[in-house]
Structure 1
């Protein structure tokens, strides 16, 4: 299993990606979340200039945020800056849409978008929104077509599986593993957590800031996909919902997604304080070095080929070092 990393796109992400390269990480993915992040393509371009080996890519692009020509041109630019290192992944928009109050895009739209995007990179004339177009970049403005980059699809259900199988080069997964995971030869799995010292308490301050943002996704996801009843069923879920419910319905998504993947918001903190931290090991890859390595071996046995770790908290270097050591340690040592 390859060991990669991810970052919620920030101004220091290029420096953190350069650090990850020095530590030995295989690839760095950054999020396409414009409501809380700087531009994903600018960030990747800066990272390309500061690195030589590490793979780079958006994880994941949300099609509705940009015209396919815009993403094709940006992909070509990054491929020129980091030849042989670029991979692209697409998703329907968990944070990139829901945090702005929209629902996820449809899989039919996703399929049409990827077809147009891939056709543009091949240098073909494609039709989009009733108009015919192709990449017309002169020499020196982009690499010559075709621009060959692998494309992964974030799919969890049967409709996404069909799109990934037809149009993708692999799956990009998080939060759960679908039954068809093992059918793909390339499966990055995005995960959060922290490596605990022996006897370190899961409710310590260090663990809260390092493991808490990933843990909080259990509440965000339960609410988005199952509503208030689903989140109330989690430890501390009632307290979480009490805070979110104070926000008017039309702005409730703002209360849910504030701090998403970065820090605990007010509702998350209420759930943590009410005992929700007890399920940290269940919903993130957290534990001692040996326990983390065991979890990774289990993921590999189910078809994951690349673990993608997002560090959190103020000590990004320390989190990257601890996780990489655990992931590459001898399981029998």
Structure 2
């Protein structure tokens, strides 16, 4: 199983990707979350200039954020800067849409988008929004077509799995491992967490800073996919909801997604203090080195071929090193 990393795109992400390369990580994925992050393509271009080996890619692109020609041109640019190292993942939009108050895009739109995007990279003429277009880049403006990069599709259910099987080269999964992972030859699975000391408690300050943002996703995801009742079923859920529901209904998505994948927001802090942290080992890849290795073995047996670890907290270098030592001893 390949060991990769991911970053909630930040100004220092290119340096962290260069560090990940030195530590031996297989690939670095960065998030397409414009409401809280620098531009994903600019970040990847800077990382390409600072690295020689590590794979690079956006994980995941949300189609509604850009015209397919824009993503095709950006992909071609990155492929020229980092030949043979680029992969691209697409998703329907969790943080990339819900943090702006939108729902996920339809799978029918995703399917049409990926078909157009792939055809553009092949150099074909495609119809999009009623107009015919193709990549017209002359020499020196982009690599010659076709531009061949693997595409992963973020899918949790049967509709997404069909699109991934028909149009993708693999699966990009997170939150809940889908049963159909074994149907794909390449499965990248995104996880958050931290390596805990043998006697370290789940409510330690290190655990809160390094694994807390990943733990908070259990609340964010429960709220977005199951509503308030799903949150109430979680330890600390009432306290979390009290903070979120103090905001006007039209602004609650801002309270939910503030700090998403980076730090605990006010609602997350309330749930953590109320004892919600007791689920840390259940909802994140956190535990002693032995605990984590057992979880990784389980993922491997279920079809994961690439574990993708997102470090959090003030010591990104230390988190990358500790996870590398556990996952690739």
**Cα distance between partner residues in 2 of 1:171 and 1:9:** 21
Question: What is the Cα-based RMSD across aligned positions, in Å?
Answer: 0.4
Shift of 1:185: 0.4
Q: Could you say which residue in structure 2 is the equivalent of 1:314? A: 314
Q: Could you say which residue in structure 2 is the equivalent of 1:39? A: 39
Shift of 1:301: 0.3
Q: Give yes or no for the alignment of 1:229 onto 2:240.
A: no
Q: Could you say which residue in structure 2 is the equivalent of 1:191? A: 191
Q: Which runs of 5+ in 1 are unaligned?
A: none
Q: Could you say which residue in structure 2 is the equivalent of 1:139? A: 139
Q: Could you say which residue in structure 1 is the equivalent of 2:27? A: 27
Shift of 1:177: 1.2
SS in 1 for 2:148: coil
SS in 1 for 2:38: coil
Query: What TM-score comes out, normalization by structure 2 length?
Result: 1.00
SS in 2 for 1:253: helix
Q: Could you say which residue in structure 2 is the equivalent of 1:11? A: 11
Pairs within 5 Å for 1:100-119: 100-119=100-119
Q: Give yes or no for the alignment of 1:182 onto 2:182.
A: yes
**Cα distance between partner residues in 1 of 2:226 and 2:205:** 30
Q: Which runs of 5+ in 2 are unaligned?
A: none
Shift of 1:201: 1.0
**Cα distance between partner residues in 1 of 2:101 and 2:38:** 19
**Cα distance between partner residues in 2 of 1:159 and 1:185:** 18
Q: Could you say which residue in structure 1 is the equivalent of 2:128? A: 128
CA deviations on 1:18-46 (whole Å, 9 max, x unpaired) are 00000000000000000000000000000
Shift of 1:128: 0.3
**Cα distance between partner residues in 2 of 1:178 and 1:199:** 32
Shift of 1:270: 0.3
**Cα distance between partner residues in 1 of 2:88 and 2:68:** 13
Q: Could you say which residue in structure 1 is the equivalent of 2:271? A: 271
The list of structure 1 runs, each at least 4 consecutive aligned residues, that deviate by more than 2 angstroms after superposition, is none
**Cα distance between partner residues in 2 of 1:282 and 1:290:** 15
**Cα distance between partner residues in 1 of 2:305 and 2:285:** 16
Q: Could you say which residue in structure 2 is the equivalent of 1:50? A: 50
Aligned residue-pair number? 329
Q: Give yes or no for the alignment of 1:288 onto 2:288.
A: yes
